[in-house]
Amino acid sequence: MNSSQDPNSCFKKSNVARGGGLHRVLCMQGGDDDSSYAKNSEAPASAISLCRPLLLTTIESMKIFFRNEEEAESLRVADLGCATGYNTLATVDMVVEALRQRYINQCGFEPEFEAFFSDLPSNDFNSLFRSLSNIGILSDNKRKQYYAAGVPGSFYGRLFPRRKLHVAVSLSALHWLSQIPDGVLDKRSAAWNKGRVWIDGAKKEVVEAYAKQSEKDLEDFLKCRKEEIVQGGMLFLLMGGRPASQQPDNQLSDPDSRAKHPFTTSLDQAWQDLINEGMIDEETRDGFNIPAYMRSTEEVERAIRRCGGFEIERMEYSRIVEHSQEKQKQWMIDPISFGKAKANLLRATLGPIIEAHLGPYLSHQLFIRFQNRVSSDISLLHKTCFYGVIVACAIRK
């Protein structure tokens, strides 16, 4: 069936990924069903656990801003690119509690805290706010651990007044770009990414266009945080990445990860299935690209030093496994459930932007074909997918 004949299809020929359109649809899948980000964020949770010791160590060495209760203002913490679910609340709770204990132990009092949860307006803030209503009460049963607020907007622009924040964290968000480079979607350009939906393994011109967009985005992000964070405040970053030795056309760490990653082979095959079945044309597929770029440690360090105003305390690259060994064993027994799980993961991360491009009917058909592709490829169950992550901690000078 051609997409134009289906009443449920709302494919838009104008690419939402261009210019300012992406911010209206780029978000993790909201809600709390099986395809929600809240139910499919095991890998980000593992990454947060990995960086927890470094985050807590840096908090212990931070500047003390207020020495007594009389002069104390509130300490302000921001989670940039917060999404929804347990991970964002657990991270802010951890930061606030570590700071609270430090002030109690070293200064004899606890300041008040403000926590700002920021993401694009398309984020499911309703689910987040419902979760916030369950913030724990302190033992004296008098007040919450922090006063919370939502801040909608792109972290590639200013979000707060000057010298407002004491701690800013961005976890598993900065690898998402502000837009797809125009040339990647233009068939007249050498950077046209024909026949693919992502950068990994793409030709030189595509890779260069993505890298240039990534460089600009990270520069914009850092310039804004330089204005917003107080002297002595902390910027803590966790993002998808790659080691310094790895070229940008090789976004993933090894062949097994490339085969099993939800953005790569099986997804390209699912798009081709829709073309082969006459449900979409090649132009529709070529008009979609995933707005993600895994930076190298060298690229991140260079951007921070070029921005100025920050002292890098620590930066490291690590790899985390996509899922637990227990799940791997379960899926070996039931490959169909493996396909469903991978499709849910894909929906959780790309569902909103794919639906904005294809409409609800065709996006559903794409995910079904992706699920079928994964379920039928038994070799994937014998591979291990690793996600590379970069952890960077910097202090505002």
* Confidence check: pLDDT of 360 > 80: yes
Identify the band that residue 244 occupies on the pLDDT scale cut at 50, 70 and 90. confident
Domains delineated in the chain: 41-396 (3.40.50.150)
Identify the band that residue 46 occupies on the pLDDT scale cut at 50, 70 and 90. low
Give CA–CA dist 75/155, Å, rounded: 20
According to the 3-state scheme, what is the secondary structure of the chain? CCHHHCCCCCCCCCCCCCHHHHHHCCCCCCCCCCCCHHHCCHHHHHHHHHHHHHHHHHHHHCCCCCCCCCCCCCEEEEEECCCCCHHHHHHHHHHHHHHHHHHHHHHCCCCCEEEEEEECCCCCHHHHHHHHCCCCECCCCCCECCEEEEEECCCCCCCCCCCCEEEEEEECCCCECCCCCHHHHCCCCCCCCCCCCCCCCCCHHHHHHHHHHHHHHHHHHHHHHHHHEEEEEEEEEEEEEECCCCCCCCCCCCHHHHHHCCCCHHHHHHHHHHHHCCCCCHHHHHCCCCCECCEEHHHHHHHHHHHCCEEEEEEEEEEEECCCHHHHHHHHHCHHHHHHHHHHHHHHHHHHHHHHHHCHHHHHHHHHHHHHHHHHCHHHHHCCCEEEEEEEEEEEC
What pLDDT, on a 0 to 100 scale, did the predictor assign at position 235? Answer: 97
Judged by average pLDDT, the poorest of 125-134, 357-366, 385-394 is 125-134
Q: Could you give the angle at which helices 297-307 and 204-228 cross, rounded to 10 degrees?
A: 40
Identify the band that residue 88 occupies on the pLDDT scale cut at 50, 70 and 90. confident
* Confidence check: pLDDT of 91 > 70: yes
* Confidence check: pLDDT of 87 > 50: yes
What pLDDT, on a 0 to 100 scale, did the predictor assign at position 1? Answer: 39
What does pLDDT average to over the chain?
A: 85
What pLDDT, on a 0 to 100 scale, did the predictor assign at position 79? Answer: 95
Written as one letter, the residue type at 135 is I
Identify the band that residue 32 occupies on the pLDDT scale cut at 50, 70 and 90. low
Q: Which tens digits make up the pLDDT trace of 170-218? A: 998 999 999 999 999 999 999 999 998 999 888 999 999 999 999 999 9
Tokens of 94: 């951890």
Q: Which tens digits make up the pLDDT trace of 139-156? A: 444 446 899 999 999 999
First-last CA distance in the chain: 60
Q: What is the dihedral of CA 66, 69, 70, 76, to 10 degrees?
A: 50
Identify the band that residue 5 occupies on the pLDDT scale cut at 50, 70 and 90. very low
Using a cut of 0.85, tell me whether the model's pTM lies above it.
yes
Rounded mean pLDDT of 302-328? 89
Rounded mean pLDDT of 338-345? 87
Judged by average pLDDT, the poorest of 121-135, 241-255, 333-347 is 121-135
Higher pLDDT, 307 or 123: 307
Identify the band that residue 21 occupies on the pLDDT scale cut at 50, 70 and 90. low
What pLDDT, on a 0 to 100 scale, did the predictor assign at position 220? Answer: 98
Question: Which residue's structure tokens are 């082969």?
Answer: 276
Cβ atoms of residues 312 and 301 within 8 Å: yes
Written as one letter, the residue type at 384 is T
* Confidence check: pLDDT of 301 > 70: yes
% of the chain residues with pLDDT over 70: 85
Q: What angle do CA 48, 133, 111 make, to 5 degrees?
A: 70
What pLDDT, on a 0 to 100 scale, did the predictor assign at position 200? Answer: 84
Q: How far is CA 144 from CA 79, 147, 151, 255, 289, in A?
A: 18, 7, 19, 48, 43
